[in-house]
Amino acid sequence: MTDLALSRIATQPVVSHAEMANAIRFLAIDAVENAKSGHPGMPMGMADVATVLFSRFLKFDASDPAWPDRDRFVLSAGHGSMLLYALLHLTGYQGVTPDELKAFRQWGSKTPGHPEYGHTPGVETTTGPLGQGIATAVGMALAERLMNARFGDDLVDHYTYVIAGDGCLMEGISQEAISLAGHLKLGRLIVLYDDNEISIDGSTSLSCSDDQLARFKASGWSATRIDGHDPEAIAAAIRHARHDRRPSLIACRTVIGFGAPNRQGTEKAHGAPLGTEEVEKTRRALDWPHAPFQVPGAITDAWREIGAQGHAARRAWIERSRRLSSTGRSPFHDALNRKLPCGYADAMAQIRTRFGNERPKIATRQASQLVIDVIAEALPNLLGGSADLTHSNLTRAKTQQPVRYDSLDGSYIHYGVREHAMAAAMNGIALHGGFIPYGGTFLSFADYSRPAIRLAALMGIRVIHVMTHDSIGLGEDGPTHQPVEHLASLRAIPNLLVFRPGDAVETAEAWDCALRADTNPSVLCLSRQALPTFRDGEGETNLVAVGAYVVVEPEAGRDVTLIATGSELSIALEAARVLEKDNIRAAVVSAPCFELFRRQSREYRTAVLGRVPRVGVEAAIEGDWARWLGDGGEFVGMTGFGASAPAETLYREFGITADEVAKAALRGIARSRMAVTYA
């Protein structure tokens, strides 16, 4: 038994376990009833498990939610958010007041329908989309082990606990996540499974007959089933899991809606208020004769003591960190403060200047690898990986060694063919702190990663997705692998930076933007085919950082503006030369990041786009190009799926050529002149 557990038993308050757990139950019941919306069943069923976890095992200090060596607690079953809010309130997290519980699911409250990272103190990750929480927790547990390998037990020594439900385990992402965790032997990951055999439609037997314990064991986990309402059985299972070198599943057989005489054990307890009459019956059944939101002082005091019991451990940790030498302390705190080290800027400037001087004709995925080679040495906390496409994504630096269960000092993760889990695990790594995670796959597989990317954007965390083979330009693999709608789809996600660089210099600048964007996730969309370098890279200004800029500006003024991204920029430049032969003055604009361009001033955007007809060029569907092209603009790109053929054939057959861009420009100019004539 741990010293923490012993100290907690020694100072155990006079109130009973049942009273402690019932405080959680009735705060959840009352909040859902007051909101006339929510999910009371899971908090009622898992209150016993949560009480044992928080009172006997979880290392935390409610006065400092960001203490780096705290245990992480992830409520993967995020619909049961009142379980977490009740715990945060009872243990004394600042701001999670009775008024906030009464404002559950209301505008501006700290108690939204599902837990949101950065919105409520003590919430480690945004959950709600089932399966994302458990997969994110895998990343947290991995980050803990990797940090421990670098800095030792004195600074990094904590567990990751998850409460997950049937829905989390039914979602396909869970299999990818548990497989990865089992492979890496993440022994400090403990999943408490709310095994209540109920889903929204009714009994889980309607749709699922999996043997979950066998499934987890097959993936290298320890797995056991217990009575989720027996506090000693719960404690014994957690204690055993903490000493197992494998990740652990504890299937807690519970009764959903525990204590509600007419709702418990049925789907009726899942996602709706119990109703006034049933609430009163539940109060009588559980001997809780207190008014809504009222918790007796002795019970509150006992919970507050639990919230403060980690204070001594936190102070001891702070003292240990202070005793370190400056050379030992600096790398650790540099890793945690999320800032780029001093040597980074020089490294990035070096590779950018090299590209500008050498003007290589290479694929942007190759340029990206060269960038990674340089910055990996300057960023010791850069943590790379790929979903089994390392040699296609080109995401591994020469200096990076693979992460293995028996070699946790590496900095490159072979995620296997697990895009769902990779994206979610990267979120967990970023949330844990200590690393800047990036991972690679093909852009056409972005949809596998999309739920986690969306959550990263919602949370405002720095994760970097390297997505190569970004257009029909990948060629012969055909339409299944050619991403035509993915750029538009990703650009539709708020707060996500989608970069499509057009040459090696822009690739370096896109990486720089992604690394400096500590409140945005980024996607780098990179080409398979070689692209000529059109930038010289001179000067210190990162032009990608403004989203779009003028590459070619005719001296005598513009007749048309050609706007392009990525591999199509060279087509736009060629089209400008074609138009010049007909005395048409074409400006060329590179637009590597629509989101960053949108953030610029109206005056800057107008200066870049001009007040002349515009033509957009991108080997993808039109999407939100219309915003930049205006009513009179033309788009040269894809209107359907691709085909299997060499890249040059595809561009010709789909009409994405300099000649077609020039024709579109002439049509736009003719319409513009006609409009002026008739005006």
Tell me the pLDDT tens digit for each residue of 193-224. Answer: 999 999 999 999 999 999 999 999 999 999 99
Buried b (16+ CB within 10 A) or exposed e, 205-238: eeeeeeebbebbbebbbbbbbbebbbbebbbebb
Q: How far apart are CA 592 and CA 423, in angstroms?
A: 23
Average pLDDT on 395-404 reads 98
* Cβ neighbours, 10 Å, residue 605: 16
3-state helix, strand, coil in the chain (%, to 5): 50, 15, 40
Q: How far apart are CA 456 and CA 523, in angstroms?
A: 11
The CA distance from 525 to 365, in Å, is 9
Region of poorest pLDDT, from 73-87, 371-385, 470-484, 536-550: 536-550
pLDDT band at 448 (very low <50, low <70, confident <90, very high): very high
| Mean pLDDT calculated for residue range 345-370 | 96
- Tell me, what's the pLDDT at 12? 52
- pLDDT of the residue at 326: 67
In the DSSP assignment, the letter for residue 445 is: G
Of the candidates 124, 419, 634, 660, the residue annotated as catalytic is 419
pTM of the model: 0.96
Please report the pLDDT score of residue 672 as a whole number: 84
CA distance 563 to 568: 9
- The average confidence (pLDDT) of the chain is 95
DSSP-derived letter for residue 53 is I
Please say if the pLDDT value at position 3 is more than 50: no
pLDDT band of residue 58 (cuts 50, 70, 90) is: very high
Q: H helices within 262-341, ranges in order? A: 276-285, 297-308, 311-323, 326-336
Give CA–CA dist 2/103, Å, rounded: 38
Label residue 676 by pLDDT band (50, 70, 90). low
CB 481 within 8 A of CB 469: yes
Q: What's the token pair of residue 637?
A: 């790109």
Cα torsion angle, 499, 505, 509, 515, sign: positive
pLDDT of residue 202: 96
pLDDT given for residue 6 in this prediction: 46
| pLDDT for the residue 327 | 66
In this predicted structure, the answer to whether residue 333 has a pLDDT above a threshold of 50 is yes
Model confidence at 388: pLDDT above 90: yes
Q: What pLDDT score was predicted for residue 1? A: 40
319 catalytic? Reply is no
In this predicted structure, the answer to whether residue 328 has a pLDDT above a threshold of 80 is: no
First vs last Cα of the chain: how many Å apart?
86
Cβ contacts of 332-336, under 8 Å, gap ≥ 24: 332/151, 332/155, 334/381, 335/147, 335/150, 335/380, 335/381, 335/433, 335/434, 335/435, 336/68, 336/433, 336/434
| Per-residue pLDDT tens over the stretch 264-303 | 999 999 999 999 999 999 999 999 999 999 999 999 999 9
- Give strand pairing partners of 189: 160
Residue pLDDT, tens place only, 88-105 = 999 999 999 999 999 999
Angle (nearest 5°) at CA 664 between 658 and 667: 145
Average pLDDT over residues 163-177: 98
| pLDDT, tens digit (0-9, with 9 covering 90-100), for 5-55 | 445 444 555 899 999 999 999 999 999 999 999 999 999 999 999 999 999
Half-sphere exposure of 333 (CA within 13 A, CB side): 10
pLDDT score of 322: 85
Residue owning tokens 């930076």? 497
pLDDT tops 60 at residue 4: no
Kindly tell me if the per-residue pLDDT of 116 is higher than 50: yes
What are the pLDDT digits (tens) for 552-562?
999 999 999 99
User: Stretch 625-631: mean pLDDT, rounded?
Assistant: 94
